[in-house]
Amino acid sequence: MSGEPTGALRFSLRRVGVLAEHAFLEAVRQRVFQFTTLLAAVLVAGSLGLRELDFGGAELKFVADFGQGALVLFGSVLTIVTTVQLLGGELENRTVLPVLARPVRRSEFICGKFLGAWAVVLVFCAVVTALLLAALWLRASTLPAPLPEAPNVRVAALPYAGVLAGGVLQAVKFGLLTAMVLLIGSYAQSNLFAQASSFLVLAVCHLQYLARDAWQAGHGWLERLGGGLIGLVFPNFQLFGGEYLTAGADGAALVLVGRVALYGLVYTAVFLSLAVWSFRRREI
Amino acid sequence: MAANKTDPAQRPPAIEIRRLTKDYPLPGGRQRVRAVDDLSLRVHPGQVYGLLGPNGSGKSTTLKALLGLLRPTLGDCLLAGVPGSDPAAHRAIGYLPEAPYFPRFLSGRELLRFHAKLAGVPRAGREERIAALLRRVGLAHAADRRVGAYSKGMLQRVGLAQALVADPPILILDEPTAGVDPGGAADIAALILEQKARGRTVLLCSHLLTQIEEICDRVAILHRGRLLAEGALDELLGRCGRQSLVVENLPPEELAAFEDWLAERGGRLHAVERPAARLDRFFLQTLERAERATEASAVGTGGGAR
């Protein structure tokens, strides 16, 4: 019946695709996706209600920052909860047994979960970023014209490219976070432990720059060594903030976006490989 | 050579477990508990093989080691000659886990589609096969209902369908009738026998000894991870060369004459017992009678209405 060839079972993108589609379907049918997306959308739309504050061009930056904050906060929650549920839930409920009893490599299983979870977060990022751009356009169209004494303030051109680049970088960051959560889930014995550890790792990654500072300017060798190790193992999530991009999308800024995205993708590949290695050793 | 082709025992085993030992570390890591102890088994193609034992005897651990879900401490397990830890070996099997849980967000049809795709069932004819399997296990009416709304018995049935979705030559079923009503258990037994008739190999664990007795060719009895007994049912139960006659209202003097008659022909009356009616058979027969009565009355009513 099976259309598979005989012999050794090679890594198959087809099976990864089937597993990813399954994971995506599971995640979008969960309430956490619907709830976080709705909440982030409400927050972005709510930023339009701040009409009594007339900041001119600065108001658009305020709206952009507000929206980016919603994207970062709810995107992080969505990534961790969804990924833990997709892997840990499957292990806890033992729904993984008939799947791994199929001709499926464990590396395919982890890669499928990764792609499925990341796809969900990409949808979230796309929806929130699109809403944020729409909110900015709506608000910019109702702002007063630039004052004669400040003709260089072109409010409508200010934050769009930055918001778009910020959305892309956050999507890359959430992919990296997905890989890190999968690594934790590959050896965690409970969902609670996996979620708590993942939020801790998220905090460490956001504060990683402190470790790098300690490495470069620490007082003792212990502080320098500890800072160096943390700075090396954990990626710096502050890089994905994109604050430096809000001034526009000139060539240098685009190169910077590319370099940060590459930095995120390299870390993602490393953590995903570790997750596969760890899951292959796990007894189910 | 011809004998090799026809006698399953002469062909390479479909499932082979060689000196399997599995230890689990206890919390703290210093002490270990032995779940399976030096177990060796061979299941030949076309056999239905029962793995029996009380809870905690190592049955599920044996099956998990066979599927490569656990690493054996010692020994090895082969599926169609390939180590069970190699995912390539899983092309040959369909597996129903104990008390199966399936993703609650999928419908029965979506679940089978997912497993069919994973197993590499070709797109052409896939949907027809899924529909046929759902009909076969009696779930056609609930095919598009979420699995989360299924009863225990329905979960077992859809689990069995997912095990069969790629039409594998080897079926590994862990408690296939747990939580299923007697009618459903009889259906599942019939389905297993159907697979045997098609030349499939079945390894199953069950607590329902009556059912095991009816469908298995060979059994192994495990206790605390060790193999206590193994063999063909007729050998184990001493049934070889014996027949039973059920007679009614035979006077004692006639029984003595019958015994003499048997002795003259080289036979021996082994035991005289009061035959016990089997509750499961009585239950099923009662249900069947009720079903027939309901159908008959429905036909009568329907005919009148028309």
Global pTM? 0.84
Q: How confident is the model at residue B4 (pLDDT cuts 50, 70, 90)?
A: very low
Q: In chain B, what are the domain boundaries?
A: 9-100+168-236, 246-298
Residue B240: what pLDDT?
A: 63
- Residue at A233 is within a domain: yes
Considering only the beta carbons, identify the residue of B97, B105, B129 that sits closest to A98.
B97
Q: Which of A8, A19, A99 sits opposite B88 (nearest CB)?
A: A8
Q: What is the pLDDT of residue A98?
A: 94
B214–chain A nearest CA distance, Å: 27
Model confidence at B167, pLDDT cuts 50, 70, 90, reads very high
Q: Output the pLDDT for position B115.
A: 96
Q: What is the pLDDT of residue B161?
A: 95
State whether CATH 3.40.50.300 applies to domain B9-100+168-236: yes
User: Is A184 within the bounds of a domain?
Assistant: yes
What local confidence, expressed as pLDDT, does residue A277 receive? 96
Q: Which domain holds residue A199?
A: 13-144+155-280
- Is the minimum CB–CB distance between B91 and chain A shorter than 8 Å? yes
The total domain count for chain A is 1
The closest of A169, A145, A172, A138 to A60, measured between CA atoms, is A138
Give me the residue from A7, A95, A101 closest to B88, CB to CB.
A7
Smallest CA–CA distance, residue A186 to chain B, in Å, is 14
C-alpha neighbours within 13 Å on the C-beta side of residue B87: 22
> What pLDDT was estimated at residue B283?
62
Whether the Cβ atoms of residue A18 and residue B117 lie closer than 8 Å to each other: yes
What is the radius of gyration, based on Cα positions, of chain A?
Answer: 22
Could you read off the pLDDT of B29-49 as tens digits, one per residue?
Answer: 778 889 999 999 999 999 999
pLDDT of residue A43: 83
pLDDT digits (tens, 9 = 90+) for B239-289: 666 777 778 888 888 888 888 888 888 888 877 777 666 656 666 666 677
Closest Cα in chain A, distance from residue B100 (Å): 7
Report CB contact under 8 Å: B106, A97: no
Judged by a CB distance cut-off of 8 A, whether residue B103 touches chain A is yes
ipTM > 0.90, yes or no: no
pLDDT at B246: 78
pLDDT of residue B29: 72
Kindly state the DSSP code that residue B142 receives in the 8-state scheme.
Answer: G
Tell me which residue of A80, A107, A64 sits closest to A275, measured CA to CA: A107
Nearest residue of B to residue A12 by CA position?
Answer: B118
Q: What is the pLDDT of residue B229?
A: 85
Q: What is the pLDDT of residue B1?
A: 40
Mean pLDDT of B164-187: 89
Contact A1 B121 (CB under 8 A): yes
Q: Which residues of A touch B88 (CB under 8 A)?
A: 7-9, 103
CB contact under 8 A, B114 and A22: yes
Chain A: residues touching B (Cβ < 8 Å): 1-4, 6-9, 15, 18-19, 22, 25-26, 29-30, 93-95, 97-106, 283-284
Positions in chain A whose pLDDT score sits under 70: 1-6, 50-58, 143-159, 242-250
pLDDT at B26: 84
Q: B112-145, pLDDT tens digit by residue?
A: 999 999 999 999 999 999 999 999 999 999 999 9
